[in-house]
Amino acid sequence: MLGHTENSIEINAPIDFVWAQTNDVRDWPRLFSEYAAAEILETDGDSVTFRLTMHPDEEGRVWSWVSERTLDRERYLVRARRVETGPFEFMNITWTYERLEADVTRMVWVQDFQMKPSAPVDTAGMTERINQNSPVQLRLIKEKVEARRRAVVGFGAVPSNRRRGGDLRTLVAPANVGSSSGFCGAVRLQPGESVSEHYHPYSEEYLFVASGALRVDLDSEPASVPAEHALLIPRNVRHRLTNVSDVEALVVFQLSPLAPTPALGHVDTEPGPAEAPDLVAVTR
């Protein structure tokens, strides 16, 4: 007898966010209730070999095994197998993702397996166990992924980017909350400090000066933006931000829509404060 199960869940989040959140094996102990630890043993291209360790069962036993996963990002498909099969003759797992709407994703788990004759439970019994546990884990994943989309993100909770000047933090973005049409953040600038000139080929940028005062050079034409005022920076317009006040400036920014890839989102037209001039390709 061969075992076969299929379980699914609909998650209110974009497919790329669901994919990223559920395929970060290191994070599985926070995503699943059954895993105590996940250790990456080897990565090879789109494949990862890892060890999973479960929490002790009702008899105090700790189960652990090695699995291999191969990700097909273009097809939103994952194939996995147990390398250390334990009580299984084999265990093969397929995860598929389907975009139902812009913010709704269906995730499907299929497991094909067979138990060894010496296993403490036969194939029919394991099928029943998986069909009881998989819906529980899928509901947990749904709750946690959807909760991450509603996360309140503090300025100090994300890394600082100082490459272009100032203390810039991207707060709400595709990577951490699954935004699909843009991202926003804030930058703190000390008196006289600047964000070096750059432009955005794909996105409009919206600036709001919460405190301090800015001079924003737009294609070399200066614009004054005092506190509690906003400014639109159109696509392809070179811009440099300078704090012209005598207090720290706090500037909130939003960019939309997203560039095809993050690397294409910004084009630097002058070096940042930590860069040598000859390392920046000037594009005018």
**Tens-of-pLDDT digits for all 284 residues of the chain?**
799 999 999 999 999 999 999 999 999 999 999 999 999 999 999 999 999 999 998 888 898 999 999 999 999 999 999 999 999 999 999 999 999 999 999 999 999 999 999 999 999 999 999 999 999 999 999 999 999 999 999 999 999 999 999 999 999 999 999 999 999 999 999 999 999 999 999 999 999 999 999 999 999 999 999 999 999 999 999 999 999 999 999 999 999 999 999 999 999 999 988 664 443 333 32
| Residue 61 pLDDT | 85
What the block records as the tokens of 137 is: 């884990």
Phi and psi at residue 137, to the nearest 5°: -70, -40
What φ, ψ does residue 62 adopt, rounded to 5°?
A: -110, 120
Closest CA to 165 of 272, 275, 279, 249: 272
How confident is the model at residue 170, as a pLDDT?
97
What stretch(es) of the chain map to CATH 3.30.530.20? 3-149
155-279 CATH fold = Jelly Rolls (2.60.120)
Q: What's the pLDDT score for residue 158? A: 96
CB 220 within 8 A of CB 170: no
Looking at residue 58, what is its pLDDT?
Answer: 82
How far apart, in whole angstroms, are the C-alpha atoms of residue 82 and residue 89? 10
Tell me, what DSSP letter sits at residue 161? B
Cite the residue boundaries of each domain of the chain with CATH code 2.60.120.10: 155-279
| Top-level class of domain 3-149 | alpha beta
State the pTM of this model.
Answer: 0.86
The 3-state DSSP class for residue 94 equals: strand
